[in-house]
Structure 1
Amino acid sequence: MLTIAMPKGRIFEEAADLLRKAGYQLPPDLDDSRRLIIEVPEENLRFFLAKPMDVATYVEYGVADLGIAGKDVLLEEERDVYELIDLKISPCYLAVAGLPNTSVDEVAPKVATKYPNVASSYFREKGEQVEIIKLNGSIELAPMIGLADRIVDIVSTGRTLKENGLVEYETIVDITSRLIVNQASYRLKDKEIGQLVSRLSEIIAEKAV
């Protein structure tokens, strides 16, 4: 049985739809389940539902053979896993944002983010010294209350930024969800994984036409 770690929410729904289009018979209530472990024995699949930031950890340590994770998570976590294919789902991007028409602290601008590793690397490559403030949620609040000069966060439609009076300053990287694999599983279950990758790749190619 192949075990796949996936985050709940939009990525899970889009990934389940992709698997169905690839011919996998998944139960119709799969997307609405509150269970954390879901088995689909007729397809020899088991799903773990995890926090987005934890998916790559499950895969690295081998409790899941495969995982579906956003590129933002893979860049931030830097886990020892193989990235197999870009599933082309849940597109968004990481951006630098803040209040409009505001200058930053010239000595060491404060940047609030859920992605401290990505943000540090980005500003370091630009030759800019910043102070990173790690937050776990409501990142948009930081510049509004004076905690930070800028934020680095995921942007999908830009609606959340706009509703909170913030503007984008720079795009860091485009993000989509990727299929990742545990290194040992890739060797031991190469036939099953190869078949899954082949079927998904065919559907992704069809969507791109």
Structure 2
Amino acid sequence: MTALTAPDSSPDAPRAASPCATSSCVASDAPLVLALPKGRILKALGPVLERTGLFHDGSAIGEGTRSLRFPTQDPQVDVVRVRSFDVATFVAHGGAQIGVCGADVLMEFDYPDIYAPLDLGIGGCRISIARPVDARHEETAVASSHIRVATKYPTITRRHFATQGINAEIVHLHGAMELAPTLDMASIIVDLVDTGSTLKANGLRETEVIAHVTSRLIVNRVALKTRPEAIRALIERFRDALQEKAA
């Protein structure tokens, strides 16, 4: 299993210039923007958001509306709901100053402008390799120097197989990866796995775990330097909420 490499835990580590540095970082008197992922992670995050004091009901953010930006109980913090794969992009480019996303996204995009101070310990799953139940492992990987893989994680996939001396040809999909082997588009898939029931229902079996994944609190490095007190205070609210959960 590949060790999970998260962004540098030091906010002052030397990095390339942020896009935020050349565009418009949030004004000092404007609300901070917290980017949250839609879907199951947001539901799991609900109790943590409640303990931060940002919401009375963290699991009902945005229900019954098409709006994507919302005020919180703190007038200095607004929330935007975006696709889970887009949270890191919003934060890296300064559209949001802080956010929550899976470690899989951080591994895939490896944005130099992101600092990840907290592992929230929610949304636990794994990035895994899966192949048809009747496929022999040695035929599809070990004995081959080239393999075709369907995945939404081209960077993670290429990096993993490169360590084994295998050239991974990527079929880049954003969903329904499980169909690729049955339609002869790819020999195997690399995807996020929770219970494995979807794999089983589509005639696949999990054969290797590349990395275990949880959700992380992430921060734009430039925004942390320009508004350190406000952002550090918000980080501490999340830290306290996690400690309260553990108590």
Tell me the TM-score normalised to structure 1 length. Answer: 0.92
Matches within 5 A, 1:181-192: 181-192=219-230
| Structure 1, unaligned runs of 5 or more | none
Structure 2 counterpart of 1:166, which letter?
Answer: L
Q: What is the deviation of 1:192?
A: 1.9
Structure 2 counterpart of 1:75, which letter?
Answer: M
1:4 corresponds in structure 2 to: 34
Is 2:48 the partner of 1:15? no
Structure 1 counterpart of 2:177, which letter?
Answer: I
- Say which of 168, 173, 194 aligns to 2:232: 194
Report Cα offsets for 1:61-103 as digits up to 9, x if no partner.
1111111111111111122211111111111100000101313
CA contact (8 A) 1:24 1:43 kept: no
Q: What is the deviation of 1:43?
A: 4.3
Q: What is the deviation of 1:131?
A: 1.4
Is 2:122 the partner of 1:89? yes
- Say which of 180, 190, 199 aligns to 1:142: 180
CA contact (8 A) 1:16 1:31 kept: no
Matches within 5 A, 1:18-29: 18-26=48-56, 29=60
| Structure 2, unaligned runs of 5 or more | 1-30
- Say which of 66, 69, 72 aligns to 1:37: 69
State the distance in 1 between where 2:193 and 2:123 align.
Answer: 11
Moved more, 124-133 or 56-65: 124-133
- Say which of 74, 78, 90 aligns to 1:58: 90
Count the aligned residue pairs: 209
State the distance in 2 between where 1:208 and 1:122 align.
Answer: 34
Query: CA-atom RMSD, angstroms?
Result: 1.8
Report Cα offsets for 1:184-203 as digits up to 9, x if no partner.
21112222222222222233
Report Cα offsets for 1:153-177 as digits up to 9, x if no partner.
0001111101111101100000111
SS in 2 for 1:153: strand
After TM superposition, where is structure 1 displaced by more than 6 Å over at least 4 residues in a row? none
SS in 1 for 2:108: helix
Identity level (%): 36
State the distance in 2 between where 1:120 and 1:208 align.
Answer: 37
Tell me the TM-score normalised to structure 2 length. Answer: 0.78
Q: What is the deviation of 1:107?
A: 4.6
